[in-house]
Amino acid sequence: MTTIYRGTVLHSLAPDRFELRPDAELVVDDQGTILELRDASEGPTEGETQGSVDRRGRLIVPGLVDAHFHIPQIDVIGIASRQLIDWLREHIFAAEIANADPVIARDRARRSFQGLLASGTTAVAAFSSRHTEATHIAFEEAERAGIRALIGKVLMDREAPDALIEPAETALADTRSLIEHWHGRAEGRLAVAVTPRFGITCSDALLLGAGQLAEEFGVPIQTHLSENKGEIARIAELFPDAKDYTEVYERAGLIGERTILAHCIHLDGCEIDRLAAAGACAVYCPDSNFFLHSGRFPLLESRKRGLDVALGSDIGAGTSWSLLEAMKMGNYMQVEPVDPALLLFLGTLGGARALGWEDRIGNFLPGKAADLVVLEVEEILSGRSIESTAPAELLSMLIHRGHRARVEEVYVAGKRLR
């Protein structure tokens, strides 16, 4: 049996192109796969048996994709401090040490995935802590929540409190066991990412081992790159023979098509070109960049040079769970105005590409999974009707007043999760 979701449908087709259908039907099969997106006036095809989810007057958008999130940081969101390195030392490392307690780890993981779904996020790339048990727990909770999640145990073997570092061999062996247990589980909704925190906390041996492990299993890699000037200076001290920060990862085999790089703020043109050529993806985390005074991500230059970009909340340096808010901040953090179509792309299709799931999610093309969010947008539209609002205006209002949109229902592969 098919299910028809009827409402005003908005989705991204490309970085510069979106589609708004005022009265549309999304036809979904019993496996949760999209068969067709059509105007309601086109009516049912012959012999179609259907269940109906009639949401006329509501906006239906693809599940949002958060390409950078830290599970153990959800209880320290918004605690202002100095810049990155001091903030890590003063607030974050203590919070991550507490993740050694499985009760705390489970509670945080559960609240993370529920909080993301409540914000309309149906897929996330998340850092756990360095704790293997906490990471297993995170996968269990992601599976239970029904969300799509790419999760990694954070690799660190230096320059952090003793409780957060471990020998490279242990870190890599445990990551291997996580991959063997979880990668591709839950009908492919779960993925393990090899997750070195960043160059400062990883020896050459750990980075190299991480690159080899990702290569061996063909799994994604997520890490941080070039977020903060103090960080970059420390990288230069720790890796004196690397010509730049990007090379620290390149020579370990960590830069490729499956690499997700949070921030990428202070790269030079040559680094951006190399990342683009390798097919890596940068994650723009505007709220976090603003909060930690890290700098301004060169969004338009990066895109012009061919670098793929996605969007991240970067909870807990970001202060909002909502990718709609990240889209708004993504505009505000730039000097030049950003096309709303690009912002929508970054938070949906661009994120799907970053996570390696572009063939499955990100928009409503036939063959993709019915990951969708039903939004009540009455307040955003200030008295206009949704059907009569011009597409470009509606998208802009959604992005800039997204905090007033109400997430009413959330589906992953046609299964209602909220």
Q: Binding residues for Zn ion, per CB under 5 A?
A: 262
Taking the least distance from each CB to Zn ion, the nearer of 221 and 262 is 262
Closest distance to Zn ion from the beta carbon of 314 (Å): 5
Report in angstroms how near the CB of residue 356 gets to Zn ion at its nearest. Answer: 19
Question: Is the Cβ of residue 125 or residue 341 nearer to Zn ion in the bound state?
Answer: 125
The least CB distance from residue 129 to Zn ion, in Å, is 12
CB 70 to Zn ion: min, Å: 6
In sign, the C-alpha dihedral spanning 343, 349, 353, 354 is positive
Of 179, 166, 86, 159, the closest CA to residue 129 belongs to: 166
Decide whether 283 or 374 has the Cβ nearer to Zn ion: 283
Residue 7 or 196 with smaller CB distance to Zn ion: 196
Instruction: Scan for tokens 């009455």, then name that residue.
Output: 378
If the CB atoms of residues 76 and 262 are measured against Zn ion, the closer one turns out to be 262
Q: Nearest distance from residue 237's CB to Zn ion, in Å?
A: 21
- The nearest distance, CB 379 to Zn ion, in angstroms, is 32
Is the Cβ–Cβ distance between 322 and 375 less than 8 Å? no
Min. distance of Cβ 209 from Zn ion in angstroms? 21
Give the residue with the Cβ less far from Zn ion, 60 or 262: 262
Comparing CB distances to Zn ion, the nearer of 10 and 248 is: 248
